[in-house]
Amino acid sequence: MGYLPVSEMERRGVSRTEISRFVREAKLEKAAKGLYVSPNAESDPLFELQYRYPKAIFRMKLRCSCLERGEPP
């Protein structure tokens, strides 16, 4: 399933009450304000940063250093 923004879930008819219930039942985890992730999805810290700061620009050097350490780009 991966990452799900609240705006997308609401667009598809999922209420905030249902989202809270999914979190309580461990069917979703909060990754950032307005962003949730399925518990079995692989974490992507750079995606979460880009979501939080949409105007941020990440340099290729950062992506490469993450790859060298075995982290997702």
How confident is the model over 36-73, as pLDDT tens digits?
A: 999 998 888 878 888 888 887 766 665 555 555 555 54
Q: What is the pTM of this model?
A: 0.70
Planar angle of CA 25, 30, 34, nearest 5 degrees: 125
pLDDT at 21: 97
Of residues 50 and 26, the one with the higher pLDDT is 26
The model's confidence at residue 5, banded by pLDDT at 50, 70 and 90, is very high
b/e for 35-52, b at 16 or more Cβ within 10 A?
A: bbbeeeeeebeebeeebe
